[in-house]
Structure 1
Amino acid sequence: MSPIVPIAVTGMGAISAIGNDVAENFKSLAEANHGIGPIRQLETCHEERLLAGEVHMSNAELYDRLRLSQDIAYTRSTLLALWASREALEAAAIDPTDGYRTGLISATTVGGMDATERYYDDYLASAKNRSFIHTHPCGYAAEQIAGQLGIADFVTTISTACSSAANAIMLGARMIRAGLLDRAIVGGTDCLSRFTVNGFNSLMIYTDGHCRPFDENRNGLNLGEAAAYLVLEAEEVARNRATLPIAYVTGYGNANDAFHQTASSDNGEGAYLAMQQALEIARLNPADVDYINAHGTATPNNDLAEGNALLRMYGSASALPPFSSTKAFTGHTLAAAGAIEAVFSILALQHQVVFPNLNFSQPIASLNIVPQTGLTAKKIDHVLSNSFGFGGNCSTLIFSKDHD
């Protein structure tokens, strides 16, 4: 068996409904303070009816605090991404122009849609907001982020629905292992938009209250917005920079159950295969995992499918390690979910705690599995994080304290 090339995580950044940086996000998780509330930043007819996890800064505030020119069009997704990616680079103490081959792999599904919605009727009548036309494609955000960060060696965009950021992290790790990059800034960003709020509401999977992951009476999700990025480096590069890794990416897997455009198969085939592949790459057994950060959207289909996949992996409810969904804190942040939850997974490793699954009261009858409902101290060496997207695109990441 060929030797594993260690992939070090040397920095991370995050902004979400529960915090404007990594430290604030951890404080909210530790104190069970969720960020779900009435919609205020997005103009929508649902603002008094549906709850969401919004970042508590306007676009104008983000422009100002990021010191960006008001003459350049940046959508909210891009503004959030710049905020989180700058924190990640600062935490890793890197300069993307220092001679190491550095790439940016950024995930999004909303892209510039929020601006398109806002200015569509205005484009022909006025030139004021026409600069936002170019921001609509998902790839445009990655180019803007790369330009701001000074990254030119490799830039690409991943858009695989709600597994997007997990796949961005996986691609970065694979490219470093293949010797194509020395370092990669990887993650994802999505803001709220009327299209996504209306879309999930039309699918009848948007709850009228607070979401309840893995609960028998769950009736839908809350959407959220967030951005999070990790700095991945070949271990040798981190060592040459005298940088101590904060964690390692040791496993990753992607599979597709090809079951339905928006639903997972009831037995969780894609989820099961993704977890199985990630464990094989990490050379771990299921019992080696100390905590599972579940996808856990609180929709009837997802939680049943993921629960069945976990039972297939572990054989019984009693054999499951502690698991929880953190989406009741942030809302479902779509393309950013895999990245914000990667940050949460690494925080679990750093602080040796399992985060609570909020709003749970009754196990799903057909599964009888119970998530962690309170913050719990525990020895944690390996965390498994799941992210599943529409179209059956299922991804799993494994983060470890060490790579041995």
Structure 2
Amino acid sequence: MQKQRDKPVRVFVTGIGIISALGDNVEKNHESLVKSQAGIRNAVHFESYYTAVLPFGEIETSNEELKEILNLKDEPGYTRTCLLAVKAFEEAIADSRLSSSELSSFDTALISASTVGGMCLTDQLYEDANCKSDGSEYLEAYGPGSHTLKLVEKYKINGFTDTINTACSSSANAIMLGARLIKSGRANRAVVGGVDALAKYTVNGFNALKILSKNPCKPFDENRDGLNLGEAAAYLVLESEELVGDKKIYAEILGYGNSNDAHHPSAMSEDAVGAIRSMKDAIESAGISPDQINYINAHGTGTPNNDSVELTGITEIFKNVPPFSSTKSYTGHTLGAAGAVEAILSILSINNSEIYPSLHIETAMKDFEDLPVTSYQSEAQVNYVLSNSFGFGGNCTSLVLGKVL
């Protein structure tokens, strides 16, 4: 039964976990950001024709190493997507000190996200789907929600569960849904995030759109020529104020906005109507004004369309544009994981009073006066962060994360 709330419910982040091209835990990701050291390089584990000609944000840990670390060597049906999800999930719940009984409680929700899911095994999927195999161990693992089911089974989760696929805004929407469940009394706790692994399915698709760069991407540079695909998993533990106790609080989920410009399957409306709406709604629902935002973790893919549209929206909302940058220049575009990855990197910015720059900027965008941050900033005042995640089909989501003052 839904609980009746006597006063507005605050939603706090009490645990975070991440594995990306920057490292296999939160600490290593932070170290790479401070050093302005990107994880975009030649892929070693991902097998594709394009690994010889394109850079990727590949995680250095192999599937075999992940199975060893996670004690899953004898467990069938774990794709790379599932393995990455378990790795980040375990770090997040350990960080929040969640017990097995708390995870299994009916008031604990799990909302995850993925665009590729088990289709990271593109060749095996082809063999199985066309009856060219005897049926592999992955027959039940190809759907976007298969990793969520693995988490449900492994950790005996009984509460509300869901898997979201809204393209590149997927895990931002998972965070938004988790916060809304808590605020509405439908849950007291939610583990939220997302995962995507590199896959021929997506690499070939993005290559067909001609938006993959042959060089490390450079979001918000005049001569940007595309994105780099990456892989990652990231999860956050959200808890209502009444559950927090003496736990460390990383940040508060203050606001969120979601919109859809319905402009084009793979491009945003040039007048930025969707981006503007999602950012405005996020700031208004946070109960703050635009001039209180200290930093924007931009969607910033490095494609001509995205960066121009996003900056159009930002300059429409902010009279004085706050510092902004794109951490995709470190991790690559991690698709369904991107919103959660960038929420965690935003939290690192808040907790360490740091702003991480956009990398590889050489030439300012000619139609805009505002430049992204291009060098690491320490001792920065970062009380409120706006984190943008804009997906194919025009699904735009913005989050406002705040320091607990």
Q: TM-score, normalised by structure 1?
A: 0.95
1:384 aligns with 2:390: no
RMSD: 1.4
Q: 2:401 aligns with which of 384, 399, 402?
A: 399
Distance 1:118 1:331 in 2: 25
User: 2:82 touches 2:146 (CA, 8 Å); kept in 1?
Assistant: no
Q: How does 1:118-267 map to 2 (within 5 A)?
A: 118-121=124-127, 124-127=131-134, 130-239=136-245, 242-267=246-271
Does structure 2 retain, via aligned residues, the 8 Å contact 1:35–1:329? yes
**3-state SS in 1 of match to 2:359:** coil
Q: Offset at 1:131?
A: 2.0
How far, CA to CA, are the matches of 1:362 and 1:238 in structure 2?
A: 46
How far 1:3 moved relative to its partner?
A: 5.2
Alignment of 1:2-401 (within 5 A): 4-98=8-102, 99=105, 101-121=107-127, 124-127=131-134, 130-239=136-245, 242-315=246-319, 319-377=320-378, 378-401=380-403
Instruction: Say whether the 8 Å CA contact 1:328–1:357 is kept in structure 2.
Output: yes
Give the partner amino acid of 2:322.
Answer: P
How far apart, CA to CA, are the structure 1 residues paired with 2:86 and 2:151? 6
Q: Distance in 2 between matches of 1:173 and 1:10?
A: 13
Structure 2 letter corresponding to 1:192: L
Q: Secondary structure at the match of 2:121?
A: helix
SS at match of 1:379: coil
Counterpart code for 1:64: E
Partners of 2:106 and 2:346 in 1: CA distance: 27
SS at match of 2:268: coil
- What is the CA-CA distance between 1:384 and the residue it aligns to? 0.7
Q: Using the alignment, how far apart are the partners of 1:223 and 1:4 within structure 2?
A: 39
Quote the offset at 1:172 in angstroms. Answer: 0.1
Question: Separation in 2 of the partners of 1:293 and 1:181?
Answer: 28
Residue deviations 1:247-288, cap 9 Å, x none? 110011100111111000112111110010001110011100
1:368 deviates by 2.5
Counterpart CA distance in 2 for 1:217 and 1:136 is 37
Paired AA for residue 139 in structure 1: G
In the TM superposition, residue 120 of structure 1 has moved relative to its aligned partner by 2.6
With 217-226 and 32-41 compared, the bigger mean Cα shift is at 32-41
Shift of 1:78: 1.1
SS at 1:251 equivalent: strand
Kindly provide the amino acid, as one letter, of the partner of residue 381 in structure 1: N
Cα distance in 1 for partners of 2:150, 2:367 equals 47
Contact 1:38 1:51 in 2 (8 A): yes
Q: Secondary structure at the match of 2:311?
A: helix
Cα drift, residue 118 of structure 1: 3.1
Q: Conserved in 2, the CA contact under 8 Å of 1:211 and 1:218?
A: yes
Unaligned stretches of 5+ residues in structure 1: none
Q: Determine the C-alpha separation between the residues in 2 that align with 1:122 and 1:264.
A: 36
Q: Give CA deviations for 1:57-87 in whole Å, capped at 9, x if unaligned.
A: 1111111111014341111111101000100
Q: Which amino acid is the alignment partner of residue 19 of structure 1? A: G
CA contact (8 A) 1:269 1:309 kept: yes
1:379 deviation in Å? 1.1
For 1:39, the aligned partner's letter is: A
Q: Secondary structure at the match of 1:161?
A: coil
CA shift for structure 1 position 150: 2.6
In the alignment, what sits opposite 2:3? Answer: none
Provide runs of 4+ in structure 1 moved above 6 Å.
none
| Aligned partner letter, 1:355 | Y
Could you report, residue by residue, the CA deviation over 1:9-47 in whole angstroms, capped at 9, with x for unpaired residues? 000000000111000000000001101111221110111
What percent identity do the matched residue pairs reach?
A: 45
- Residues 384, 401 of structure 2: 8 Å contact kept: yes
TM-score computed with the length of structure 2 as normaliser: 0.95
Shift of 1:126: 3.9
Contact 2:122 2:200 in 1 (8 A): no
For the 8 Å contact 1:102–1:184, the answer to whether it is kept is yes
Unaligned runs of 5+ in 2: 1-5
2:122, 2:199 within 8 Å by CA — same for their partners in 1?
Answer: no
Q: 1: distance between equivalents of 2:356 and 2:401?
A: 15
The answer to whether the 8 A contact 2:15-2:95 is kept is yes
What amino acid is aligned across from residue 372 of structure 1 in structure 2?
Answer: V
Aligned residues: 396
Whichever residue aligns with residue 70 of structure 1, its letter is: D
Cα deviation for residue 96 of structure 1 reads 4.5
Give, in angstroms, the shift of residue 139 of structure 1.
1.5
Rounded Cα–Cα distance in structure 2 between residues aligned with 1:337 and 1:280: 23
